[in-house]
Structure 1
Amino acid sequence: MAEDEVNYASVVFKPNQQQRSEVKREETVYDEVKVQNKATEQTPVTNVKKEETVYDEVKVQNKATEQTPVTNDVTLIYEIDETELNQLKENQTTLNAVNHNLTKLNNQLSSDNEDLKRNQTKLTLQMNNLTQVFNVLDKEVTNLTKENQKLKGKNEELKTQNKDLEAEKKNLTEQTQQMTTPWDELNVSRAQWSIDAYCPRENNNRKCNACQKGWELNSSCYATNNADQGEWKTWEEARKDCRGKISDLAVAINEEEMKIIREKSWQNNENKGYWIGLRVEDGKWKWLDGRNLTNNSWIDQSSPSDGHCAISLQNQGFKSVSCDEKNQWICKKKALSV
């Protein structure tokens, strides 16, 4: 055959006339294969005319097993030159490398995907926590806003009160300025009254005494108020009267003063006496000057009761009675040093 010769082959498969299920074990079946060789005008064939078809009979032996049906498959083996084979091997190597890289990339992407899922879970939890914190903060902001509104309202009220106080201060300042001269005159009048009270004028001469007129001197000045029964007072009322005379209800610092107070309580009525500056405070007997009663023998009741005050009886000493009772009273103040 010449170098440029082209061969054409036609393969015809002749089906086996016997049923495939009937083939027995080790039975040999031959199918007839006719191969047609068609020659072209430029490819001469010995003893073959132009366009003549020649069939070569090829017998293919199919060895069927007992339960394996015979098929008509034919395996064609092509001859590949060495260059193509090497190229295919190179392609296969390249594809294997690419496949390996793709496998590594896929594994890396899978790992990254798992990391992203874990991060997404963490972010979801953090988002939930932040949402809860935001809700708490939102409530606090709402409460602070309400409180701020209240404070603004109070601030406005305080501003109004401040303006009122400023106006009142201004009025009081003006009144004080207006009263300065009368107050000075009042002080002069009080000083004159004191002089007249302690140093009365006799025959155009003044003789000063340690106590003012109507008061008795016994180391201190005492005034026994022997008012009519209709003018008797409660303990608070009696004290108010004494304070109006620049004095207070009588207190006893020692045994001597206690005896003086008791002697001035000359009322003969055994059930009535004179208010003195001794009362119960917080379950204890206290004098008006803040001292505690240390000598319990001075009063007939050892267990003090709140709301009780002391009266002085000439023959009985001090006695505990209700402060709301009405009695006479004894005032005391310091004597004037002359």
Structure 2
Amino acid sequence: MTGEIVYADLNIPSEWPCLRPPQASQHLEGSGCKLCPATWLLHRDKCYWVSGKMKPWNESRDDCSAKHSQLLVIRDGEELEFIKNSTQDSTFVWIGLSLSSLGKTWIWLNGSQLNQTLFPLPVQDNGNSCGAVKGNRIQSDACTTEYEWICQRETVLI
């Protein structure tokens, strides 16, 4: 089958939002639809997956990597509100935030520093602190503590 062209019929329901003309209240970014894998939640331009299991921060980070994603990097208060609603304040969940090796700065997995104005978080002295979220607040805890975790990945645009 190498080098062959394969055609497929797609059975997409006509009520699928991407096939309907946009409503006056909808905001479309470019053309096309944003898709997430099954069991992932779509919000803006990200897909989110909540684990339902408990692991330490490092294992949570590795699990997200195995899913071709990363632990959640929260951009703003609106995204934090979406996460709060998605987890229903059930428990703390690991996010992609950890204290730098020097123990002075909170760093997201994408390399950016935590905006302390948006998310005030005290600096811990033990150097083994990671970020977790519950409700609308971020808290630090020992990275060896077991929590659920949230993975994120970009949407697929079709």
TM-score if structure 1 supplies the norm length? 0.35
Q: By how many angstroms is 1:323 displaced?
A: 0.3
Q: By how many angstroms is 1:302 displaced?
A: 2.0
2:86 aligned to 264, 268, 273, which one? 264
For the 8 Å contact 1:265–1:312, the answer to whether it is kept is no
Q: What one-letter code is carried by the residue in structure 1 that aligns with 2:35?
A: A
Q: What one-letter code is carried by the residue in structure 2 that aligns with 1:288?
A: L
Q: Say which structure is richer in strand.
A: 2
Q: What's the counterpart of residue 224 of structure 1?
A: 50
Q: What's the counterpart of residue 323 of structure 1?
A: 143
Q: By how many angstroms is 1:304 displaced?
A: 3.4
Q: By how many angstroms is 1:260 displaced?
A: 2.0
SS in structure 2 at match of 1:241: helix
Distance of 2:155 and 2:123 partners within structure 1: 35
2:93 aligned to 274, 280, 292, which one? 274
Q: Structure 2 stretches of 5 or more lacking a match?
A: 3-7, 13-32
Q: What's the counterpart of residue 213 of structure 1?
A: 38
Aligned residue runs from structure 1 range 1-338, under 5 A: 205-207=10-12, 210-219=35-44, 220-227=46-53, 232-268=54-90, 272-281=91-100, 282=102, 283-296=104-117, 298-299=119-120, 301-305=121-125, 306-314=127-135, 316-338=136-158
Distance of 2:117 and 2:96 partners within structure 1: 16
Distance of 1:250 and 1:318 partners within structure 2: 12
Q: By how many angstroms is 1:294 displaced?
A: 1.6
Q: Say which structure is richer in helix.
A: 1
For the 8 Å contact 1:249–1:329, the answer to whether it is kept is yes
Cα displacement string for residues 20-74 of structure 1 (whole angstroms, at most 9, x for unaligned residues): xxxxxxxxxxxxxxxxxxxxxxxxxxxxxxxxxxxxxxxxxxxxxxxxxxxxxxx
Q: What one-letter code is carried by the residue in structure 1 that aligns with 2:38?
A: K
Distance of 1:222 and 1:259 partners within structure 2: 13
Distance of 2:85 and 2:119 partners within structure 1: 14
For the 8 Å contact 2:76–2:118, the answer to whether it is kept is no
For the 8 Å contact 2:106–2:123, the answer to whether it is kept is no
Q: By how many angstroms is 1:253 displaced?
A: 1.8
Distance of 2:82 and 2:116 partners within structure 1: 16
Q: Structure 1 stretches of 5 or more lacking a match?
A: 1-184, 186-200
When Rg is computed on C-alpha atoms for both structures, the one with the higher figure is 1
Q: Which has the higher contact order (CA 8 A, sep 6+)?
A: 2
